[in-house]
Structure 1
Amino acid sequence: MSEQVQVVLVAAAGGAVVGVLGLLAGWLLRSRSLRWQLALVAVVSVTTVLVGVVAIAQLMFLSRHDLQVVMLVTLAGAVVSLGVAAILSEALVRWSRRMREHVRRIGGGLPDEPAPQAPAELSELARELAAARRRLEEAADREQRLEESRRELVSWVSHDLRTPLAGIRAMAEALEDGLANDPVRYHSQIRGEVDRMVSMVDDLFELSRIHAGVLRLQPELVLLGDLVSEAVAAADPVARMHRVQVGGEVQSGLEVTVDPAGLSRVLGNLIVNGVRHTPADGSVHVSARVVGDEVELAVADQCGGIEAGTIDRVFEVAFRGAEARTPEDPADPSAASRAGLGLAIVKGIVEAHRGRVEVSNTGPDGAVTGCRFVVRLPLSGPLTPSAG
């Protein structure tokens, strides 16, 4: 066996023994301060070198003087290593304390502060904790808005149901007592109020299915122009009543895989919403075209715009802005459901199609004269029969 191989084997054997003892000591010190862990690393490193030097010196039959020189050099290196380990351990302890204070600020809801100056891993951890806090705050805000929307929904639906029920009761009592001068008109009014309440209940049921994730889609390849034409024709009576012109244009031959009933409801809600908010002699325009790998379906009206502080809330459940709770004209078919559900249903159905819906104010030369709702749907890719 060559001399080099003997040196390697002896040094490796000594290092293995010291390493095993070091691991055992590390396990015993696992719950102690980081200072002990770093000091242990330094001690193990120096001891490994020292054991190897002593063992090799014995094999090489060094003189006592030479061995002392080697030992002194090794011990000097050990002192320096332990000093460096002590300094680094103290710095690491300070960094960990700063990190603990940073986490405590986050947990206590205190304002954010810059991540503590620390090694890259700890700084990255501090930034991730701050980002997690912001996400949690945003989630809490969303939950609070949803809870407020639920309370408003219950309040507004209760109001919107109480009004027609009171009218139906009064008309029914008049009919029973023989006090109705025109029973046919009373029956017609009762039927209209019942239809309005049925429409509201249908909206509530549809919204509950959307929120529960059980909305059933029956996707088909359809001509988008046909759906737009049907929606415009269905909204024509309402448009005539409000003296609003409804028109549109669709890219020729445009086909899309959608649930026809669901997309028809989206179009109907958006068109009627535009008609209801557009003043007399105004117009609502529907358009559809391909933009990239999406189908862009837009409904533009002349409602005068939406306030900047509320435009981000128009798709929330029960949000109706400053509009009165009671419909202005019970004979208006568009007033069938004013509980602020129409746009929330639009958003739910569009998202079930893996699309998105947006709204923005529009007008020439920076003047706001109306708003534009844009539905973006994927142009290709089959839909699953069930989505929500």
Structure 2
Amino acid sequence: MRRYLGSVIVLFAAILGAGMIAVAFEFPAADIAALITIAAVASAAAGLIGGIALRLLRTRPARLQTLTVALSSVLVAATGVVTAALAMFISLHDLVVLFVVLIVASAVALGAAWQLGDDIDAGAKQVGAYARTMVDVDGRITHGVAPAVTGPGELAALAGELAAVSRRLEESQRRERALEASRRELISWVSHDLRAPLATIRAMAEALDDDVVDDDATVKRYHSQIRTDAERLSALVDDLFELSRINSGSLTLGSEHVDLCDAVADSLAGASAAAELKGVDLRERLGDTPPVEVAAREFCRALDNLFDNAIRHTPPGGTVLIEATGTPDAALVHIRDQCGGIPDHDLPRVFDIAFRGDEARRRDERGGGLGLAITRGLIEAHGGIVTVENGDHGCRFTVRIPAGARR
């Protein structure tokens, strides 16, 4: 019923308006009632016929439907006026004049309806042609500008919506292709990183089983290498599991919350041993930061990955500087290393899955190149961002966590 409410309102408004006009010209009340009743009944009958015809033609071209609407409107008006005129005993001469006026008005209405139908048809064809160009023969979304559509504004709006959808689909397809390329690269890297330690473990285990080596020093070295490679594989599996949780959206931050500076201090305590072993000077400058609480396990893991990355790529004798600062709206952690910098064309890919950069970094990279990708996912889960830029003799990674964040 709601869809017909507008038509009902228009009908009652028209009857009320007609009555007010008749009253204004001092028509007798009986004549007013008779005129309105006769005109309403006759027009309703003609309108019913027009409505049935329009419903039967609702799947036909727009031009035919607009002509039907115009013809129905003329028929309704003519039926009501002629019926009321005959009931009021208007002369034949006046009736002929009335018919002439109605015929001319009908011609104008039908011509306008024909033009409107042409405009709608042309606009629909333009929108259809644009829709067909949105996808090329290879199934790729092609971004285009919405055409200037002829016809009602709804068709122009539809073309605009199609253009917006095309842009979103194109962006989605681009992300999907990037993810697919990243997935293939990840599989390639992980396959290599799994194959190498597994081959070493198998060869050494077979050598031990076949008594190829029997001196205690070699046996101990083989056992130590097997344990090292097993730990490496275990760490790789843990990274893959963590990355899967991040990418699937199933990551849930831990319930233990700590102050950001406390988390930085805990990660520094663990990184200091690795820095000392390599001969890297690890320095810290922890200043005042706004109140920020983070999930202890996840945030410390993100920092561990960043600290480990900085220490591994800084040569012995170099320095890694850790700074914690703040602005009124965010807490910042800066990690400066002396790795020599990253090529500018590689900077946008540093946090991509399985990215390892140039050959020097690849030789020094442990695991599947997942650490920085995991770091980005964990930082973003806290509502923050992590960025990288080249600085003096190295890189500067920056972690930004919004002030007052609670997880």
Q: TM-score range by the shorter chain?
A: 0.7 to 0.9
Unaligned runs of 5+ in 1: 329-334, 384-388
2:169 to 123, 136, 150: 136
Where do residues 179-190 of structure 1 align in structure 2 (5 Å cutoff)? Answer: 179-180=214-215, 182-183=217-218, 184-190=220-226
1:115 to 144, 147, 153: 147
Cα separation, 1, equivalents of 2:394 and 2:31: 92
Cα separation, 2, equivalents of 1:291 and 1:8: 76
Deviation at 1:34, TM superposition (A): 0.3
Count of aligned positions: 371
Counterpart for residue 332 of structure 1 = none
Structure 1 counterpart SS, 2:134: helix
> 1:137–1:236: structure 2 CA closer, same or farther, 3 Å change rule?
same
Cα separation, 1, equivalents of 2:360 and 2:191: 14
Cα separation, 1, equivalents of 2:88 and 2:327: 83
Structure 2 counterpart SS, 1:106: coil
Cα separation, 2, equivalents of 1:261 and 1:110: 44
Counterpart for residue 19 of structure 2 = none
Where do residues 1-388 of structure 1 align in structure 2 (5 Å cutoff)? Answer: 1-108=29-136, 109=141, 112-118=144-150, 119-175=152-208, 176-180=211-215, 182-183=217-218, 184-252=220-288, 254-323=290-359, 327-328=363-364, 337-353=366-382, 355-363=383-391, 369-380=393-404, 382-383=406-407
Calculate the aligned-residue CA RMSD, in Å: 2.7
Structure 1 counterpart SS, 2:144: coil
Deviation at 1:82, TM superposition (A): 0.4
Listed one character per residue, the Cα deviations across residues 274-308 of structure 1 (whole Å, up to 9, x for unaligned) are 22233444433333344454433333334344334
Counterpart for residue 17 of structure 2 = none
Structure 2 counterpart SS, 1:372: strand
> 1:380–1:21: structure 2 CA closer, same or farther, 3 Å change rule?
farther
The answer (yes or no) to whether the contact 1:247–1:286 under 8 Å persists in 2 is yes
Identity of aligned residues (%): 42
Cα separation, 2, equivalents of 1:295 and 1:243: 30
Cα separation, 2, equivalents of 1:3 and 1:82: 33
Letter matched to residue 187 of structure 2: V
Cα separation, 1, equivalents of 2:34 and 2:287: 85
Larger mean Cα displacement after TM superposition, 32-41 or 144-153: 144-153
> 1:294–1:326: structure 2 CA closer, same or farther, 3 Å change rule?
closer
Structure 1 counterpart SS, 2:351: coil
Cα separation, 2, equivalents of 1:296 and 1:25: 71
Rg larger in 1 or in 2? 2
Give the number of the structure with larger relative contact order, counting CA–CA contacts within 8 Å between residues 6 or more apart: 1
> 1:324–1:201: structure 2 CA closer, same or farther, 3 Å change rule?
farther
Counterpart for residue 331 of structure 1 = none
Structure 1 counterpart SS, 2:272: helix
Larger mean Cα displacement after TM superposition, 33-42 or 136-145: 136-145
> 1:193–1:44: structure 2 CA closer, same or farther, 3 Å change rule?
same
Q: TM-score, length-normalised on structure 2? A: 0.81
> 1:27–1:292: structure 2 CA closer, same or farther, 3 Å change rule?
farther
Structure 1 counterpart SS, 2:274: helix
> 1:125–1:290: structure 2 CA closer, same or farther, 3 Å change rule?
farther
